[in-house]
Structure 1
Amino acid sequence: MSGKQKPYEISSDVFVTGTLIWYSYICPREVWLMSRQIVPYQDDRRLEYGRAVHKVHSDETFLIMEGMRVDSYNTETGVVVEVKCSSKHLESARAQLRYYLYRLKEVGVKAVGVVRVPDEGVEERLEEVDEGKVLEDIKRVKAIVALERPPEKVRVKYCKRCAYREFCWPV
């Protein structure tokens, strides 16, 4: 890449991702771990469930750009869909979707977003993107990633079901 660095670039080949945006609303430590390719326990039942929900409710053809992989994009309607397993994290899902819409707009793609929680029948539409919020989210992720060490452990309500739980809270 040449020219001015984009706000979502961490370096010339490392980008803020939609997933990092999503996790920044849940646990900064997860953001740091993921940014270092420290993966959670892959056989965690919640991760397996999430993969199964995505397999059933996402399109075979999805949209991929540097730092993002959209679950579903309909070129005819311009609708970007982000599929989630639970409505417990709607704020995070909205932030992730805002990031995708921001990135698409930047390359000239006009789109609207939908957060879909199929198991709960929840569907939220997002038509306007607050670019200031997106840039704040990006800035927050970049600050976490720039840390030399992971953020301190802070027990939150999601820890007991987190696929990283043994990394942070060994038995």
Structure 2
Amino acid sequence: MTLILGLDPSLSCTGWGVICAQGSRLSHVANGEVKTNARAPMAERLYQLHSAITAVIAAHNPDRVAAEEVFVNKNAQSTLKLAQARGAVLAACGAANLVVNEHAARLVKKSVVGTGGADKVQVQAMLKVLLPGAQIAGADAADALAVAIADAHLASR
């Protein structure tokens, strides 16, 4: 049995999801979203992300973490904010001595849906099949669960 924490880092709303992988069987453990106030100072927002993910790690004690790889936006400022949010979230994982596997968004979609060009609706529909009965907190939590599932599938190869 392996507990995997999936992360979809973002400054405005970081999604997280925990699944249990037992061989090829997957089950939902928990998920949520950490939303920050856009009007708050950057340092406060980053601290909030770090603290929240630290609490998730403490509550669920995952064996490893999977995060979506950073992608470069056309807007350099957006890319920088995303990188800072990822840094805060990954620092929480590092403080807990957790290995973080990073996966490209296209690989996550291919692993969960079967095609790297899948849209969010297709990913969310597949989550209902793969994690029946799971109450998913929102789109960012769904993305985080997809990252965790992709990590489980890729590790089983």
TM-score (norm 2): 0.31
Q: Which has the larger radius of gyration?
A: 1
More strand by share: 2
More helix by share: 2
